[in-house]
């Protein structure tokens, strides 16, 4: 734990050059400079990721734990899904999820096996005035086996780092192993919420977990941050599970569908018209390719090109919208007639070349107000769509 002197140092040097601070540590007798620098690094990350925790009275864990913690936006969203008397976060970590769940539940059990994180949790929950959070130093399986209480909700975010720091994402390779513990979890709670790696295929996760009754794919700023699976004893057939893409940004947008609806959807296809739509990353990860077009009255560019078009502007489509300036051949000369300075942001969708390869072939400089999409269109041609947001 930091001393009062250390905390003052952190406050005074929050925006300083950390490398220089470490090199000049002897100039600050009585200050644990190395620990303070680690605190400053973590606080800088917290300032943008978890603004509610940007407090100098808190003690931050190592930077890796901060990076693995839920963002405030995602944690707040999760906490709004449920409420009740008692819940337990069985993989407590930094404590961000437990803190926000504590605003919806009367009692929260924070369960963590790492003694250093437990010590930090004791201090931080007291500093945050989260008096309804009970800290327990144990692992999820032991907590389930030794307790008798029932909970309205159990939450798990299994660790996705294997031995020797090899990244894993299959549920069976994570700790705790939720598929193995499923029956024990459902014996202690009516609802179990599991956060899984975004890399894991949704259908695979549903098959591995079993008893999935709902799925949320959560993006923050058009980047998928969390995929959440709700387990209940009574669950629908896999193709009837409600899947919700949740897009968190300046405003929250959601798109809800089922695999059955997606399979049955028959969108229209068209060449690029007046406007181009790129769905939010959460929509794409959720797999709402055809039903998305039907919901908003859009045409797809091609069955495998997940970009959409319309002759007139359709408002409030989750994702990015572009006014189409031109449709040109995949040639430098043709593009330069539209963009004389050859400067644009580049993307490729269902296209043989990567964005970097497109830039090299066309001699494009990155940036500017225009976007160039390399696409396969409804007639199977490889073309460039030029647009502005």
Evaluate whether 186 touches 211 at the Cβ level (below 8 Å). yes
Per-residue pLDDT of the chain (389 residues; tens, 9 = 90+): 899 999 999 999 999 999 999 999 999 999 999 999 999 999 999 999 999 999 999 999 999 899 989 999 999 999 999 999 999 999 999 999 999 999 999 999 999 999 999 999 999 999 999 999 999 999 999 999 998 899 999 999 998 755 545 555 678 888 899 999 999 999 999 999 999 989 999 999 999 999 999 999 999 999 999 999 999 999 999 999 999 999 999 899 999 999 999 999 999 999 999 999 999 999 999 999 999 999 999 999 999 999 999 999 999 999 999 999 999 999 999 999 999 999 999 999 999 999 999 999 999 999 999 999 999 999 999 999 999 99
Cα gap 355→348, rounded to integer Å: 6
Instruction: Sheet with 243-248: list strands edge to edge.
Output: 133-137, 105-112, 84-89, 153-156, 192-196, 224-231, 212-220, 243-248, 253-257
Question: What is the domain class of 67-257 according to CATH?
Answer: alpha beta
Residue positions counted in the chain? 389
The answer to whether the beta carbons of residues 314 and 275 sit under 8 Å apart is yes
Q: What is the pTM of this model?
A: 0.93
Domain locations in the chain?
4-49, 67-257, 265-388
């Amino acid at each position: 734990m930091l001393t009062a002197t250390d905390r003052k140092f952190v406050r005074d040097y929050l925006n300083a050059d950390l490398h220089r601070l470490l090199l000049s540590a002897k100039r600050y007798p009585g200050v644990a400079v190395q620990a303070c620098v680690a605190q400053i690094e973590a606080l800088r990350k917290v300032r943008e990721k978890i603004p509610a925790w940007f407090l100098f009275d808190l003690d931050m864990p190592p930077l890796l734990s901060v990076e693995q913690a839920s963002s405030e936006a995602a944690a707040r969203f999760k906490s709004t899904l449920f409420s009740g008397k008692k819940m337990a976060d069985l993989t407590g970590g930094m404590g961000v999820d437990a803190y926000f769940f504590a605003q919806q539940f009367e009692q929260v059990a924070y369960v963590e096996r790492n003694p250093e994180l437990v010590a930090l949790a004791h201090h931080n929950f007291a500093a945050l005035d989260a008096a309804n959070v009970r800290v327990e130093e144990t692992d999820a399986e032991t907590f389930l086996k030794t307790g008798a209480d029932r909970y309205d909700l159990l939450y798990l975010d299994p660790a996705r780092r294997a031995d020797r720091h090899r990244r894993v994402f299959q549920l069976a390779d994570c700790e705790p192993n939720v598929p193995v513990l499923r029956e024990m979890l459902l014996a202690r709670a009516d609802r179990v919420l599991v956060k899984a790696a975004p890399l894991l295929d949704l259908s695979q996760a549903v098959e591995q977990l079993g008893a999935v009754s709902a799925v949320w794919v959560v993006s923050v700023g058009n980047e998928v941050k969390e995929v959440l699976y709700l387990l209940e004893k009574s669950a629908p057939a896999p193709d009837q599970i409600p899947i919700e893409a949740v897009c968190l940004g300046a405003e929250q947008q959601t798109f809800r569908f089922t695999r059955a609806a997606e399979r049955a959807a028959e969108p229209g296809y068209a060449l690029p018209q007046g406007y181009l739509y790129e769905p939010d990353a959460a929509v794409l990860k959720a797999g709402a390719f055809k039903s998305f077009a039907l919901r908003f009255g859009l045409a797809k560019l091609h069955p495998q090109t997940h970009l959409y078009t319309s002759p007139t502007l359709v408002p409030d489509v989750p994702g990015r919208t572009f006014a189409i300036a031109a449709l040109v051949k995949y040639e430098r000369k043709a593009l330069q007639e539209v963009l004389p300075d050859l400067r644009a942001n580049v993307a490729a969708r269902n296209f043989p070349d990567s964005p970097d390869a497109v830039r090299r072939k066309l001699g494009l400089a990155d940036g500017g107000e225009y976007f160039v999409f390399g696409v396969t269109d409804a007639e199977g041609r490889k073309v460039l769509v030029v647009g502005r947001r």
